[in-house]
Structures are given as C-alpha cells and as structure tokens.
Chain A
Amino acid sequence: MRLVTISKSILPGKSVVSVQNSPASQKRTIALIGPPNSGKSTLFNRLTMLNQKIANYPGVTVEHRMGKLVCADTSEIELVDLPGVYGLTPYSEDEAVASRVLRGEMPGVARPAAVLIVLDSTRLERHLMLVPAVLSLGLPTLVLLNLADDLETRGGSIDLVQLAGQIGAPVALISAKKGTGLSAVTRFCKHPTDSSSENPFRVIQSVSACHKWAHRVGYNSGYHAPQPSVLTRKLDAVLLHAFWGPILFAAVVLVVFQSVFSLGQPISNRLQDGLSSFGNSIFLRIPEGWFQSLLLNGIWRGLASILVFVPQILLLFLFIGVLEDSGYLARAALISDRTMSRIGLNGKSFVPLLSAYACAVPAIMATRTIENRRDRIATILVTPFMTCSARLPIYTLVIATFVPDRRLLGGLLGMRAAAMLSLYLLGFLAALLTAGLLKSSILKSCGMPFVMEIPKFRWPSARSLLLRLLERCRVFVVDAGTIILIVAIVLWILTYLPLHDGKPPVIGQSAIGIIGRFIEPLIQPLGFNWKIGIGLLTSVFAREVIVGTFGTIYGVDPATRSLNLREALRHDLTPGAAAALVVFFAFAMQCTSTLAIVRRETNSWKWPVLQFLYMGVLAYAAAWVTNFGASQFLRL
C-alpha cells in the first residue's frame, strides 16, 4: 500500500508531499543519486551545510561524501552523496560504486534506508532513464526534479501528480540553488515510505527499453520541455566561434595563469615569511635544546610548508570554480580537445596541466573534472613535469651563477632568460612524452569514449563556491598535510642525530650528511659531490629547500649569503654539472606535498611510488647525459 500522495503541483517548488508518519526516527543513511550536472552536489551542500566529511571508498578513486542532514529535531540522518551516474551498469567505476553503496555492499557505508534521485527537470526524459535502475532496488525513493526555476522561466511544465503515478514513487519539484521545495525532501528523509511490494521495474533491463519507458512517462505526464536557453545560445555563438572562441579562451587562460602566478606567489612568499618569523618569535622563547629544535625546525616548518600552499589552492579553485559553475570549463575543454588528443589525453586535462606551472598540488586536485579514470591518472602523473614555482629558486641561483648575462638574437633575448625558457620547455616536453608513453601502454584508453555534455551557462552561486573552496583546503591540509608533517619530522631527526656531546651535529656529520656521503659514488657520474647530495636529499621534502640547505652546508654568513653561495657553487660544480643539476630538478619528483596529494587523489600508494621512481630514473639519466655531454663534447 502506497502511503504517499502528492497534494499539489504548482510551479515552482510548491509541491507538497504528505506522508503518513512512520514510527521511530532513529539513525539512518539516505543515498543521493543523480546524473552528472543534475545539481546533485548543490542539493547535498544545501541539505548538509558544512556538516560533511569526504573520503575515498576503499580501493577506488571515487570519492565519498557524507553529511548530516540539517534539520530542527534530533533524529540522526546521514546523507551519502553518490558519484554522478547515468545508470547502474558495472561499466564505469562510478556506476559500480553507486550500485554497491545502494545495495549495501560497500564496506564502511550502512545500507541506505531510502534514496533521493535528483534529476534535471529541464532534461527530464533523458534523466528519467536512471529511475528504473534505482527503483528496481526496492528502496523507498523520492524523485526530485531539480532546476524548477529554470523549467518555469523557460516555459516548460510537468504534471507532478501524473508523473508520480506513472513512476510509482513520490515526486517533488525543487530548486537546489534557490532552496525552494526542500521541505518535501526533509520530510521524506525523516519518514521514508515503505517501498511497494509489487515492483514494476525489475523487467526494464536494456537502455532502449529504459528510453522508451522514459519517453512514455514524460509524454503521459504532460511534460513540456523548456525552450532552449537564449543566453546560452548567444554566448556560445561567440565563445565557440571558430575565430573568437580560441582567442577568448587564450585570454581566459592567460588571466587565470597570470593571477595564480603573480598574485598567489607573492601571497605565498609573504605567508612563508610571516609564518617563519611567527615561529621564531614563539619557539625561541623556549629553552634551547632538542625540544625547541623539534618544534621549530621539525613541526613548525612542516606546518608552515603545508600552509604556504593554501593561498594558491584557494586562488586556483576560485577561478576553476567560477569557470566550472558558469559552464565555461566545458567549452574550454572542447576548444583544447584537439590539441590534447594528440598526446592521448582529452580537453579536460588542459586546465589542470596549465595550472601546474604555478603549483602541481592544486593542479592535481583540479583533475577531478576528468571523469575518465585513465585519463585522470595519466594527467596526474605528468603534471609534476610542468615547471612549478618551487623550481625557480634553484633555477635562478644556478643560472645567475653559471650563465653569463649576455644578449642573444641582437639583444632580443637575454642568455639567462633563454636558459630559463629552455628549462620550461624541457619540463613541457617530458610531460608530453610521458603522457604519450602512458596512454600507449599502461593507461591505454578503454571504455568510455570522449563524450561531454555542454551545460547551459548559469551564474555561479557564491555559496557553493565557498563550500567547495573550504572543502579543497580541508582535503589538502588534513589529508596531504599529515604525510607532509611526518616527512618533515623524519628529516628533522636525520639532521639532528647523531648527537655529539649532547649537541646536534653540523649538517655534514648528521645522519643526512652520512647518507649524503654514502650516495656520493652514485651521484659522482652526474658531477655532484656529497654536499650537493645532501641538497638533493633534503629537497625531497620540497624543491626550494635545496637553496637553504646549500646555505647551511657552505656555512656562509646570512648577510652575504647569495653572493658567497654563488662562489661556493662555482667552486664545487663544473658548468656541465651545474646544467646537470637543473636538468635533474626539471625531472625529479622532489616534492612531498605532490606525492601526498597524488596518494590522496588516487587513493593508492601505487601511483605516487611509480611516479617517484619514474621521475627519479629519468632525472638521473638526463642529468648524467647532460654532464657527460657537456664535459666530453663541449669541454665545460
């Protein structure tokens, strides 16, 4: 016996679901499912506010968002946001995960007591195709027709009573963005109805049959699709114009890149200075000794190195968020698809790869917009080859030390600028080659072809942007931060031990110094001595650390450090070895933060370990070739 009736069906979002009270509202899980771009995440944010936690499902890259339903009374209702899917077939990882969660087969997630299906009411017939698969599971289900405001303003309509009758489940018209119609959702979550015993959906198996069913349901419930969005058509005429489209795209890319680089970098630097002077002012009051050193050089330095990434992450995700929510990101992917397809990737990899010029960490987090898992992993793996800003300190130091300040090409290009530019190019080429290599071997595309829905243009909502920014920061600081902090403490121990007469050793005699000497035979073919070796070891933490380590090792006066450091380097490195050093840095994975975020985003140690080894071997080989070539053929 069905307990639900739809009492009204007035636009927008005034439909009321009246439910006969079911007993005992105890703790329960309710799943939220819907096709991509149905506004599911907006609804999830609306319903849970900031009471969310995000994790990966065990063994898969698919993310897992849980949140407590915000409502007045005390009943504990947990919402699970499932990945955006068109069906529940096992073809894609997302769909398999959604299916397992709904069946209660996912470890760590309780079997849902009810399901909310979110559909875009402006594309109802297509989105209805998801309904039979979900209903056949036999869980109490509420079908939500989202974007009610859009449906109304563009002249579409639907008879909700008819639709509920056709589907055999309660229906509500909502606008997640505006927050209308949500009382029906909360009421359903508190008292989900019992599913009907006679389930008509077990038989609908094939997609064709689903399509026919959806079409019939739409027709019988008087569905009138809305008029196409005039704004979108007008904007697309310009933004996807054969000539203006690419030009505007280049302009957008330039603005984003320039802002992250020229705005984010100085903020990060200032934050770094601020944090280190703050740390000094606090921890130097503690009596000198191992405890102070651990706090200041281990923990605080680790924390600071996590926090300095936050401004860049915020800035990049603000831009990407606006581009994504407005609908432009899909157009950007469309425009760059041809270019990216040459290296086996697709258009959605373009923006992440570009942002990696500022920093690989937010860039890797930005790969979430790539649905195809193999393309996403390939993009993550090549991203650290792009010349990030952390490479600039060592590049600048070596170039200023070894490259004469001469003009080339009749004064057009400085020799130092040319050297810097060629290092950028080197990283870019390594990324291209690696992508090609990956896509023709272990990450060869299979399964989903490149298909992309082009959403209509919408105003991004500040609320959902803000929530996403906070979420990204939290993921980085909490998940990646833990690993970064551990590495920072381990590095501190290695520089602090073994004690000499109860005092920490000079860096050359510390554990890391001993390791540096130990690996000297290994790096000698590259033209490096043990001091450079220590620099390479400490910079595994972060690339920019090497300059500070050199400063410590060469024991120079901080006031004249940069000048003396150059002389010391000139004494220790031949020009060939110096070139080998920057080539090594162009290729090697010297960044704990990146490794930590790769581990977080791929949900496995396999990819970061593979990446570290691959980049390390490549760096070693390229540095050897550089040093050997320079000394043998150029006699440098």
Chain B
Amino acid sequence: MPDSQKRSEMPQTNRKESQQLMSLSDVPVGSKVIINSLELPASDQEFLMRIGFVPGAAVEFVGRGPINGPMIYRIQGSDVALRQDSARMIYVELSPRNMQETQ
C-alpha cells in the first residue's frame, strides 16, 4: 500500500498516463473530476484526506461562495468549502481513473 503522504514522489508513469492533470482550483463549475494527488504539508494533507479529499475520490466543483468566497466542492454526497490556495495544491484528472470510484 503506497503511503498517502508520499504522493509527491509518485512514479512519473502515473502522471504521463493521465494527460489532463490539473489543479482542483482550475476546474470549471459543474464538472466532475477524480482526485489524483495532494501536495500540501503533511498535517493539512491528512486532514483534507480525512474530510474526503482522497486520491481516487470523485469531486464536483459546485461553485464559489458569494463575494469571492471559498470554493465549494461536492464530495461523496456532501458539500465542503475550501479556500482557493488549498484547492490549488490538489491535483485532479478529468477522466475516471479506476472503476471502483465510479460505480
């Protein structure tokens, strides 16, 4: 089992396979993406993953809060608000990576 906190050291092949790797903060409103990796400090990362931002999880960008507020993401059925600077450090891909997540 690869340790979750070492995502930044993920093998390069994984990145090359998924061509559309992008930052969660750049995802257009309404689109559904799969989390690929997180590159935050270890403690932040652990916390975000516990909330549900785990590699492999499906996320939908609902929109921004009013007055340039935090980004709102729908993850496993509930809405979570995250500031843009944290969302920028979460990398996602547009195509589903494994079938487990999409059933």
Contacts and interface: CB of A to CB of B under 8 A. Distances in A.
B65 interface: yes
Interface in B44-75: 44, 46-52, 54-57, 63, 65-70, 72, 75
Interface in A321-338: 330, 334-335, 337-338
A225 B74 CA distance: 14
B39 to A, nearest CB: 13
B27 interface: no
A453 B78 contact: yes
B81 A123 contact: no
A235 to B, nearest CB: 12
B83 A341 contact: yes
A122 B57 CA distance: 17
Contacts of A87: 46, 50
Contact of B86 (A122, A123, A450, A455): A450
Given A206-B3, A241-B66, A89 B46 contact: yes
A492 to B, nearest CB: 50
Interface residues of A, number: 46
Nearest to B3: A206
A448 B63 CA distance: 22
B21 interface: no
A290 interface: no
B49 A208 contact: yes
Interface in A580-620: none
A77 to B, nearest CB: 30
A240 B68 CA distance: 11
Contact of B50 (A129, A240, A338): A129
Contacts of B57: 211
Contacts of A341: 83
A453 B80 contact: yes
A338 B80 contact: no
Nearest to B49: A207
B3 A450 contact: no
Contacts of A402: none
Contact of B4 (A207, A339, A452): A207
Given A245-B66, A337-B69, A451-B51, A225 B77 contact: yes
A449 interface: yes
Interface residues of B, number: 41
Contacts of A240: 63, 65-66, 72
A442 interface: no
A34 to B, nearest CB: 13
Nearest to B1: A209
A335 B46 contact: no
B70 A450 contact: yes
B94 interface: no
- Interface centre among B52, B56, B85, by most A CB within 10 Å? B52
B76 interface: yes
A103 to B, nearest CB: 20
B66 A448 contact: no
Contact of B70 (A89, A215, A452): A452
Given A450-B70, A454-B72, A228 B48 contact: no
Contacts of A335: 65-67, 69
Contact of B54 (A92, A122, A211, A334): A211
- Interface centre among A92, A129, A209, A337, by most B CB within 10 Å? A337
A449 B83 contact: yes
28 contacts: A89-B46, A122-B77, A123-B76, A126-B51, A126-B52, A126-B75, A129-B50, A208-B1, A208-B2, A209-B1, A246-B66, A334-B69, A334-B70, A335-B69, A337-B70, A338-B65, A339-B67, A448-B47, A449-B40, A449-B44, A449-B86, A450-B70, A450-B81, A450-B82, A451-B47, A451-B81, A453-B51, A455-B78
Interface of A: 86-87, 89, 91-92, 122-123, 125-126, 129, 206-209, 211-212, 215, 219, 225-226, 228, 240-243, 245-246, 249, 330, 334-335, 337-339, 341, 347, 447-456
The 5 A-B pairs at the shortest CB distance, nearest first, are namely A86-B50, A208-B4, A245-B66, A207-B49, A454-B79
